[in-house]
Structure 1
Amino acid sequence: MIRTLAIANYRSIRDLSLGLTGLDLVTGANGSGKSSLYRALRLLADCAGGAGGNVVGSLAREGGLASTLWAGPETVSGAMRRGEVPVQGTLRRNPINLRMGFSGDDFGYLVDLGIPVPVAGEMDERSRKPKASLFANDPDIKREVVFSGPLARPASWLVDRRGAAVRVRGTAGEWQPENITLQPYQSVLTEIADPERSPEVLQVRNTVRSWRFYDHFRTDAAAPARQVQVGTRTPVLDPTGADLPAALQTIRETGDTFLLDKVINAAFPGSKLEISINDGMFGVQLRQQGMLRPLKAPELSDGTLRFLLLTAALLTPQPPELMVLNEPETSLHRDLMPALAGLISQAAERSQLLVVSHSTALITALRESGHVTEHELEKDVGETRVRGRGALEGPHWSWPSR
């Protein structure tokens, strides 16, 4: 279980920490910072590499570190918040950074990214001087810490990366330098995860790589989920939804068939899900009450197809440690929100869930369906904050210096 999520200096998030409980709902008006929170969490997951890529590459694709940093003053005074003085720049005391981290029941991890150090590239033939590197949008990983417990206090550090140097705490508590020099774009989670020397890093990496993100499934006429696909056992739905038929059939054969049928009937009373197969090609069909034939995937409405995609994702026979849903209500009629809320609550019994939504109907249904912790975001002087929470409230978090 992830207990605390912390982000600093990413877009509208100057300094934010959230205490998570297992089923958490992030709400707020448009522009309050919900998408920034979601994207920052995806960047944090990219630190572990894997199918998600890497955090440096992801930031470069967003336009580089400079375009994603908090654009306001380093500190926002009470007088600025009250409107007594204009919002203006202050004397900077800390280096420019983007910081992200989490702590859980066993271990925690944090990363500090900063402005890259200029690196010379190839020689210019005319001037015979080094050319500037073309990778100017790549930020540098300045600091990484893997720690135990809720806070990254020096006594709880297990792995400490500062610049290119890494040290690991031994079994007797002493620090041992790693015989490796990390490049600015390399993370300790991908480079030193060793089951003998640094098992904690391996565990954190595996934990982060297990996270799943589902964001705005395609439901247009050419969407992969509308096409027949080669069917193989698929315990985990692809983020694109391309393997929807195989994922649903895998749930039917190796997961909870009764729950799958119950969810479909709750959303579409009297309907029955079917998977067609023709020469190894799988397709989704929905037999509805009063119809003489089942409707095939190309005939389904956007909302119906999206609900089937969410069903395949949430009823996975291989539940992840954390699943993050970004605006799952998109294209769904408000009448489907109770069924979606029930599906989310069922999934939260097997995985930790974080749901980002601005749908009043879904928020209401989740409140009524069970134990959910709500975090309502708002903008205050351009900064994303949790509504109703004072400056000294919320989970405590500690960022180590560089």
Structure 2
Amino acid sequence: MHSDPTPGIQTRAQARAGERSLGAPIARHGRLKPRTLAASLGALAVRAVAVVAVSAAALAGFAVLDVFTTVNAKEGVQLVDAAGKALPPRVGAVDGAFTVLLAGSDSGGGNPAYDLLEREGERNDVTMLLRVSADHRNATVVTLPRDLYVPIPSCPNPDGGSFKAMSSQKLNTSLSYGGLACTVLTVTKLTGLQIDYAGVIEFDGVIEMSNAVGGVPVCVAGDIVDPHTGLEVKAGDNELQGQQALAFLRTRYGVGDGSDLSRISNQQVFLSSLVRTIKSADTLANPVKVYGLAKAAADNIQLSESLKNVTTIASLSMALKDVDPAKIVFVQYPNHYEGDGVAPTVEEAELLMSALREDRSVTLTGDTGLGSETVETAQEAPAPAEPGTGDAAGPAVELPENVHGQTAAQVTCSRPFAD
């Protein structure tokens, strides 16, 4: 996710509209379906709503229908277990602990405006695992480095049959090898966690979600300029959305030591601020912003079959809405450099994963990582969340100093690249 973008990136819809005018074929990568009649009528309805200024209740009804139509118009990805058996979806209310995997694809979704290098297949350059405790009071977001060498199990071939297992490959090859289902199987094998829900988000999705909340405030410890992504931000506080938000998340040459590990901690600066922004009264009390987020997700995330249900999506949102930001922990999967990539730091990784499997919360003792630093503020520290079953399962697990991360309540600044 670090190749040079073309100035003036278009949305996927704009790019495809341009292709149609030239009579060129449209690259769909076998995932996205053409706009349905219902979606076209939905676009017309949006304009009608603006003209006649219908009631808030009518707008809410349209929003639900529009998101429902979008979700159901897309082909979902069937998740399977290690034996290749389809995992049944968890529909409706979400009880107990659950795990969600989100892969960030570097493909650009077929949008030629990104001018990406020719590649044999899309790669999951970002892989994040969200684990929510049984009482829905603790949430842990684990980011797995793209260059992490892991075994890839036998994965189902979308065209039939199965791909052979591989003993050691970089994690970001799993998406191109066997699609989202293969990435899920790979991460399940590595972590020992059953993954209930999964999705793939592409570049346009990042742009639209940052636009939906009206921008995400981030702190930068010094000027960052990265010609590889087109990022230019000044030291201090910056409100990022659209293409700049995407460039900020993609940059690695502009932060820390220029590595993917620096990029992870830089992304956590953005994600922790995004959580605070979404959970703010300004966003939650604004139906237009809430609908914008739901619509951006529905438009730009390829979902697993287990997530292709609006009731389930709503239930997951409800499970997360009351989690205290201080109890949302972003953590980098424990690793160390080895050869041309990174390898799991086994003892620390097992400590983290066993805590999540046992429904215990985790606390950090190390720094935030190579690409960020903690901000000293005069603000009062947030009150600790009331202990729940995540803590009742046993005392919180204290992670050692060589495990990096932060909570969503921590205000951190991105650290510019330094030789």
Length-normalised TM-score, structure 2: 0.20
Structure with higher strand content: 1
Give the structure with the higher percent helix.
2
Q: Greater CA radius of gyration, 1 or 2?
A: 1
Normalised to the residue count of structure 1, the TM-score between the two structures is 0.20
